[in-house]
């Protein structure tokens, strides 16, 4: 078994509406509560970071699967949406919706398209962030796939 360790340092000056910082190996940014939750909206926030972790994990996983399957990829992109519920002061990350767009080259066969359909679904189940939040945050896929 191999363990990978990731480290992050957070600085927070106090109070709800302050602005702090986080720093990891390749990430350095300010953090605060977003405007949607009546915060100062400086830098990023936990809601965006969870959405970013889920989205990047999914698209990287899907890209690796498409490559391993030898599918003739033309282009791939994705929009993702995080839905946070605030009820009676309780904040709950409710759902993440991924909307991947995958276009294969014109020489892609029907078999390639079938394989791509399966991989789009499988990538969500294989992504470590999806597995980490499973049972706590609903995950939804709204894929758009085709060929040129």
Q: Which two tokens stand for residue 43?
A: 């830098």
pLDDT at 89: 84
pLDDT averaged per 10 residues in sequence order, the chain, 148 residues:
96 96 97 93 96 98 98 98 92 96 97 98 95 96 96
Which two tokens mark 144? 């758009």
Q: Please tell me the pTM assigned to this model.
A: 0.92
Helix axes 46-68, 110-126, angle to 10 degrees: 140
């Amino acid at each position: 078994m191999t363990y990978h360790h990731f480290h992050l340092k957070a600085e927070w000056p106090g109070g709800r509406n302050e602005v702090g910082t986080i720093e990891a190996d390749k990430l350095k940014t300010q953090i605060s509560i977003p405007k949607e939750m009546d915060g100062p909206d400086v830098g990023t926030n936990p809601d965006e970071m969870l959405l970013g972790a889920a989205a990047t994990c999914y698209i990287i996983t899907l890209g690796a699967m498409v490559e391993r399957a030898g599918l003739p990829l033309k282009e791939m992109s994705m929009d993702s949406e995080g839905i946070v519920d605030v009820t009676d002061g309780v904040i709950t990350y409710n759902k993440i919706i991924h909307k991947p767009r995958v276009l294969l080259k014109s020489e892609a066969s029907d078999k390639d398209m079938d394989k791509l359909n399966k991989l789009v679904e499988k990538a969500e189940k294989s992504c470590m962030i999806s597995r980490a939040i499973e049972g706590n945050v609903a995950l939804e896929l709204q894929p758009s796939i085709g060929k040129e």
